[in-house]
């Protein structure tokens, strides 16, 4: 389970980078810098502009990787408080 959670985190990171590149191109440097500082901003901005930027598939993969990473992390006990 830990390996699956790690794979999901890698996919999450790659999708984040792809959206950051798109943010710098489409929304400008300020939005891109905010997306670097706050990943949640990049995620929300990606969904808000998914159709305009044509990144619907990337956002779906990013969302699925996020949910799956949390589930696999919980199943493997990575978030246990011991």
The pLDDT profile of the chain, 82 residues, written as one tens digit per residue, is 778 888 999 999 999 999 999 999 999 999 999 999 999 999 999 999 999 999 999 999 999 999 998 888 888 876 666 6
Helical segments of 1-82, H only: 2-26, 29-37, 39-48, 50-53, 56-76
pLDDT at 79: 63
What pTM does this model have?
0.84
CB 78 within 8 A of CB 5: yes
pLDDT at 59: 96
Three-state DSSP at 81 gives coil
């Amino acid at each position: 389970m830990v390996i699956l959670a790690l794979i999901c985190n890698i996919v999450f990171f790659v999708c984040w980078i792809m959206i950051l590149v798109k943010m710098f191109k489409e929304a400008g440097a300020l939005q891109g810098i905010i997306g670097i500082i706050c990943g949640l901003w990049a995620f929300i901005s990606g969904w808000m502009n998914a159709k305009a930027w044509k990144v619907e598939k990337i956002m779906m993969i990013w969302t699925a990787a996020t949910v799956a990473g949390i589930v696999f992390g919980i199943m493997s006990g990575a978030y246990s408080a011991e």
